[in-house]
Amino acid sequence: MSEKPVVLVTRKLPEAVEARLARDYQAVLNAEDRLYTTEELLALADGADGILPCHTEHLSAEAIARLPDRVRVVANMSVGVDHVDLGAAKSRGIVVTNTPDVLSDATAEIAMLLLLGAARRASEGERLVRAREWRDWSPAFMVGTQVTGKRLGIVGMGRVGRVTARRGRGFDMTIHYHNRRPLPAEQEDGAVYHETLEDLLPQCDFLSLHCPATPDSRNLLNAERIALLPDGAIVVNTARGAIVDDEALIAALGSGKLAAAGLDVFNNEPDIHPGYRDLANTFLLPHIGSATRETRDAMGFRACDNLDAFFAGHEPGDRVA
């Protein structure tokens, strides 16, 4: 019987996922859930046949060039793959996979939490209650923005964007969207397509970002585009921090151009731009879009499925490079 492949697992995973990995592979686990430096990761990869990383591990072109020849597959436990240089992996013949589909519901839930929390000033109210600064009730107290019946603009009408649109319809929101191409009518479900982002933005009382982070989408939401949003609009981001120009968004929140923002993802996580913390009208979460037991198990199992297919000599179902 041939020896089981060695798989380096870079973060602490759900118990059931680690049990499956330990059963089927020689799994090098991270029991302490340490965030490895690049040098530590490369050292641990010596002797590995595959790596199961998360979005916290940055496999740059330089890092991939230094991976041992024995590493043949990188099975990410994430949908986004902007942390991996796909071109560098492809040039070395390393297969790269991701875990789509299984986190759409959980991430859309967080998008709606951010949307509601930002609109109804949840962070401010929660802080008042905890600090015992809530004095009384008044018609002028903690007045926010109503969600019901408003226009929700979605950038990136993929799996998560479509689920978010369905959740928005539950609040009688009108859905507008921008995508690389219009969806089939049965998937649009009445949503209004805008060919350009510039056409979409003036129609958004709320703007929710769901597009992948690519060189083309970096700083997609910049000062010029924020200016196209209606005064008092609210921005939600559950995609990637790189899509937003931090300085531009913080300036618009500070000036009152935007009423609020709900953010689960940031540039340079977790060392985010301090301006977000200083603003009262930001509802901030620590990148927990997929953080449910059900979803994290499903993501881990999907990564395992991709490893199983690869080492069995089959094409992984979620191959991206």
119, 206 contact by CB (below 8 A): yes
Which of these is catalytic: 20, 194, 287, 296? 287
- pLDDT tens, position by position, 262-292: 999 999 999 999 999 999 999 999 999 999 9
Residue 100 pLDDT > 70: yes
CA angle 164, 259, 247 (to 5 degrees): 90
Active site annotation includes 287:
yes
Q: Side-chain half-sphere of 230: how many Cα atoms within 13 Å? A: 14
Prediction pTM value: 0.95
Retrieve residue 43's tokens: 């050292």
Which of these is catalytic: 269, 293, 294, 314? 269
pLDDT for 84: 98
Average pLDDT over every residue of 106-115: 98
Length of the chain, in residues: 321
Distance of CA 179 to the CA centre of its chain: 17
Residue 26 pLDDT > 70: yes
Retrieve residue 307's tokens: 């490893």
Q: For 104-284, CATH number?
A: 3.40.50.720
The residues near 257 (Cβ < 8 Å, ≥ 6 apart) are 226, 227, 229, 231
Residue 158 pLDDT > 70: yes
Question: d(Cα 318, Cα 52) in Å, to the nearest integer?
Answer: 14
Residue 1 pLDDT > 60: no
Active site annotation includes 186:
no
235, 221 contact by CB (below 8 A): yes
Which of these is catalytic: 210, 240, 296, 302? 240
238, 209 contact by CB (below 8 A): yes
Residue 204 pLDDT > 90: yes
- pLDDT tens, position by position, 39-85: 999 999 999 999 999 999 999 999 999 999 999 999 999 999 999 99
Active site annotation includes 240:
yes
Q: Looking at the domain 6-98+293-311, which fold is it?
A: Rossmann fold (3.40.50)
Average pLDDT over every residue of 169-188: 97
Retrieve residue 20's tokens: 């499956």
Give 2's pLDDT tier (boundaries 50, 70, 90): low
Per-domain residue ranges of the chain? 6-98+293-311, 104-284
- Asked if domains 6-98+293-311 and 104-284 share a fold, the reply is yes
Q: Which residues sit opposite 152 in a β-bridge?
A: 175, 206
